[in-house]
């Protein structure tokens, strides 16, 4: 089951994102919401660039030889890629709200939190410095969570 859990969490995340992309307008016409989406895209690419210095894995399981990334957006937030997804997809749904989209986004969001918490347990074991890092950074939203 331990090997299956990260795959299920990742599968649910990607299926949710594909559904949201397939059945919603991608970018908001509202400039305020669009600004959140643009910031989310920038944070996402920045996080991917910083993570490329380590061994990137799409599942929450760290790969052998990986190094703990604490530069770029990771200085402030431990999960900037997840923050990026919320900043991009949240406004997309908010502006084009529909019941099915709301349900899928809720599933996506809950899955993301579960995936994040699972990942942090693994990282705590995998990296000796993770506990100290987690005490000096925010989990998802700076100054909030």
Q: Write out pLDDT tens, residues 52-96.
A: 888 777 888 888 888 999 999 999 999 999 999 999 999 988 877
Tokens 């899955």 -> residue: 111
* pTM, to two decimals: 0.92
Token representation of residue 74: 């990771």
What are the pLDDT digits (tens) for 39-58? 999 999 999 999 988 877 78
Averaged over 136-141, what is the pLDDT?
A: 95
What is the SS3 string spanning 100-133? HHHHHHHHHHHHHHHHHHHHHHHHHHHCCCHHHH
φ, ψ for residue 77 (rounded to 5)?
-130, 135
Class of residue 77 by CB neighbours under 10 A (exposed 0-12, middle 13-18, buried 19+): buried
Kindly give the residue spans of alpha helices, DSSP state H, lying in 56-98.
80-95
Q: Which of 22, 16, 24, 23 is nearest to 96 (CA)?
A: 24
């Amino acid at each position: 089951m331990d090997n299956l859990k990260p795959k299920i969490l990742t599968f649910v995340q990607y299926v949710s994102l594909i559904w949201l992309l397939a059945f919603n307008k991608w970018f908001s016409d509202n400039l305020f919401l669009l600004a959140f989406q643009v910031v989310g895209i920038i944070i996402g690419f920045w996080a991917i660039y910083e993570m490329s210095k380590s061994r990137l894995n799409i599942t929450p399981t760290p790969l052998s030889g990986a190094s703990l990334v604490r530069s770029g957006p990771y200085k402030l937030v431990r999960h900037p890629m997840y923050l990026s997804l919320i900043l991009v997809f949240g406004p997309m749904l908010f502006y084009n709200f529909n019941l099915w989209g709301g349900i899928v986004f809720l599933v996506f969001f809950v899955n993301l939190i579960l995936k994040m918490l699972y990942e942090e347990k693994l990282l705590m074991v995998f990296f000796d410095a993770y506990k100290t890092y987690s005490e000096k950074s925010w989990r998802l939203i700076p100054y909030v969570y």
